[in-house]
Structure 1
Amino acid sequence: MAPILEINNLYKNYGATEVLKDINVSIDKGEFLVLVGPSGCGKSTLLNCIAGLEPISGGTLRIDGHDMTHVSPKDRDIAMVFQSYALYPTMSVAKNITFGMKVRGVDPETQKSKLAEVARQLQIEPFLNRRPGQLSGGQRQRVAMGRALVRDPKLFLFDEPLSNLDAKLRVEMRTEIKTLHHKLGASMVYVTHDQIEAMTLATKIVVMKGGIIQQIGSPSEIYNRPANLFVADFMGSPAMNLIPAKTQTGSGGTMIEIQRPDLEPIRLTDPRARGLPEDIILGLRPEDISEPGFRVGELVQEAPCKVEIVEPAGADTYVQTRLGGKPLTARLHSETEAAPGTVHNLAFDLAKVSYFEPESGKRIN
């Protein structure tokens, strides 16, 4: 079966400025693809190329096996949900949702049944006779989603649809979108700069920077095995700790040495470090640095660290120390006795470590 979306060697230029560079990505029917990256990385431009709103400068784009590279947006069988809702202010909610069907000549009975079905799914039945100005931001976003859902397209495209909502509503809408995806089995492409949204919604993530794809993978692959320093730093909250270190090989094997102020260097033993270059960047997530006894395993090793900052966060407490000249964050339990200015034992789970080359930033283990 052909992928529902297949992009090969796609380039996009504005004059002499190249904004998308050799993009290759595909998704199967029913997948939820999230394009994520910082502002200006090209993710919205790529979505607009998929929609046909931006002509591409090179490469090919296929939807459900059909070449759509130069096909008009109206003939691509897609539905798009925008950040700005894009609702007609003088029309009721019901008319906003059914307007596209009316223009396409869908019969009134089908319009009515589809409206009822979508209104029930999105829980907007009480608002069908209201106008957009009488709705909250979350309700308007539901209407915009409803307008897309009645299309029953091959591909749904979402352009940062939650960015105008407050934090609590974003979480609620995120859950609704994920629930809809499971119910409908629809194929979706979703753009966001929020890596939490990407991790919670996606079945496949594309991380972008400077118009170039940095990594494609499942949320688990992206989080646990980042391909380079950019992905490691961008995906995760708090971000992965990235600490300059050196390897030292002796009769007892290979040691990893990390400098720190006011205390002797930390020396850790990891069998995977054999064969690594002398200078490395050691990556470890905050949740993989805990207090002694909390984690067990052959590669859990302890070291005393001087605490600089303590940040209570409800169920967790984030503790910051400094290793290799860089701040390091550990996620400890809420009852920790760690205090600023004290030396506190931390346990490092080396089974979860990622190693990177300092110069290229690429993952090496």
Structure 2
Amino acid sequence: MSPILEINNLYKNYGSTEILKDINVSIEPGDFLVLVGPSGCGKSTLLNCIAGLEPITSGSLKIGGQDMTHVSPKDRDIAMVFQSYALYPTMSVAKNITFGMKVRGVDQATQERKLAQVAQQLQIEPLLNRRPGQLSGGQRQRVAMGRALVRDPKLFLFDEPLSNLDAKLRVEMRTEIKALHHNLGASMVYVTHDQIEAMTLATKIVVMKGGVIQQIGSPSEIYNRPANLFVADFMGSPAMNLIPAKVRKNGAGTHIEITRKDGVPIVLTDTKTENLPEDVILGVRPEDIADPAVRIGGHAQEAECLIDMVEPAGADTFAVMQLGGKHVTARLHAETTARPGQLQKLAFDLGKVSYFAPDTGLRLN
């Protein structure tokens, strides 16, 4: 089966300024691809290049196996959902949804059938006679999605569709979009700066920075094996702890030495990793630093840590300490005995840690 979207060696310049640099991405039919990164990383520009709203400087772009590099947006068989909804204020919800079909000459019976279908999918049947000004933000975004769904396109494009919604509604709409993808089996490309959205929605994530792809992978790959320090720090909430450490080798394994705030070294023994340089950045997720009583597994290493701050958060308690001169967060049990200013024995799961080169930031293991 050929990819539904294939981008090869794509560059996008504005004058002498490179915005996108050697972009190579492909997705299979039914994939949910999320482009994620900080503001200004080029993710929306890349989406606009896929849509044909921005001409590319060099490279090629195929949709459904056909070269679309220089094809106009209306001929690309795509549907786009924008951050701003872009609804016609004087038209009813029903007319907003069917307007594109009417312009393309779709017969009335088909328009009505598709309208009824998407209205049911999005649970907006009671809203069909209202105008956009009478709708909430979440309802408007459902209408914008409905307008895209009636197209039955090869590719759906979403440009930060939830960024105008409040936090609770964002979670609800995120669930709806994921359910839509599951039910339709549609191919989707979704832009967001929110790494939680990326992790929960995607089958494949592209992490971008400065117009360059940093890593492509499944949510699990991105989270558990970040390719570099940027991805490790950007993906995850709380972010991965990145701790300067020294490597001391001996016959029993690799000793990882980290300095506590009081100057006392913590020594962890990693029996599964070899050939590390003397200086490394140790990457460990907060959930992989735990109370010894709840940490199970053969790679757990216990060490006494000096706690600076304790933050109760319902089912979890976050403990903050300084290791290697960096603030480090541990996700502990709600009933933890950790207290500020005290030494607390914690278990580090060395089966899940990452190592990075301090100079290049690249993954070592």
TM-score by length of 1: 0.99
Partners of 1:116 and 1:251 lie apart in 2 by: 70
Higher mean Cα deviation, 251-260 or 8-17? 251-260
Q: Is the 8 A contact 1:20 1:211 kept in 2?
A: yes
User: 1:142-172 CA distances to partner (integer Å, 9 max, x unpaired)?
Assistant: 0000000000000000000000000000000
Tell me which amino acid in the other structure corresponds to 1:12.
Answer: K
Aligned to 2:204: 204
Aligned to 2:307: 307
User: 1:61-102 CA distances to partner (integer Å, 9 max, x unpaired)?
Assistant: 000000000000000000000000000000000000000000
Aligned to 2:37: 37
Partners of 2:274 and 2:65 lie apart in 1 by: 46
Higher mean Cα deviation, 256-265 or 150-159? 256-265
Aligned to 1:54: 54
Question: Superposition RMSD on alpha carbons, in Å?
Answer: 0.8
Q: Report the secondary structure of 1:363's partner residue.
A: coil
Aligned to 1:229: 229
Q: Is the 8 A contact 1:245 1:279 kept in 2?
A: yes
Q: Report the secondary structure of 1:272's partner residue.
A: coil
Aligned to 2:70: 70
Higher mean Cα deviation, 112-121 or 292-301? 292-301
User: 1:233-280 CA distances to partner (integer Å, 9 max, x unpaired)?
Assistant: 000000000000010123544211111121520001102342100000
Q: Does the alignment pair 1:357 with 2:361?
A: no
Aligned to 1:335: 335
Higher mean Cα deviation, 262-271 or 66-75? 262-271
Tell me which amino acid in the other structure corresponds to 2:49.
Answer: C
Partners of 2:241 and 2:50 lie apart in 1 by: 35
Aligned to 2:151: 151
Q: Report the secondary structure of 2:292's partner residue.
A: coil
Alignment: residue pair count:
365
Partners of 1:213 and 1:173 lie apart in 2 by: 27
User: 1:186-230 CA distances to partner (integer Å, 9 max, x unpaired)?
Assistant: 000000000000000000000000000000000000000000000
Alignment of 1:238-317 (within 5 A): 238-317=238-317
Partners of 1:277 and 1:271 lie apart in 2 by: 15
Partners of 1:346 and 1:164 lie apart in 2 by: 41
TM-score by length of 2: 0.99
User: 1:14-48 CA distances to partner (integer Å, 9 max, x unpaired)?
Assistant: 00000000000000000000000000000000000
Alignment of 1:49-128 (within 5 A): 49-128=49-128
Alpha-carbon offset, residue 297 of structure 1: 2.1
User: 1:264-309 CA distances to partner (integer Å, 9 max, x unpaired)?
Assistant: 2000110234210000000000001100121122220111111111
Higher mean Cα deviation, 223-232 or 253-262? 253-262
Partners of 2:153 and 2:191 lie apart in 1 by: 18
Structure 2 runs not aligned, ≥5 long: none
Partners of 1:146 and 1:343 lie apart in 2 by: 56
Higher mean Cα deviation, 53-62 or 292-301? 292-301
Tell me which amino acid in the other structure corresponds to 1:129.
Answer: N
Structure 1 runs not aligned, ≥5 long: none
Higher mean Cα deviation, 242-251 or 94-103? 242-251
Q: Report the secondary structure of 1:293's partner residue.
A: helix
Alignment of 1:158-197 (within 5 A): 158-197=158-197
Aligned to 1:10: 10
Q: Is the 8 A contact 1:247 1:273 kept in 2?
A: no
Identity of aligned residues (%): 80
Partners of 1:176 and 1:129 lie apart in 2 by: 22
Tell me which amino acid in the other structure corresponds to 1:348.
Answer: F
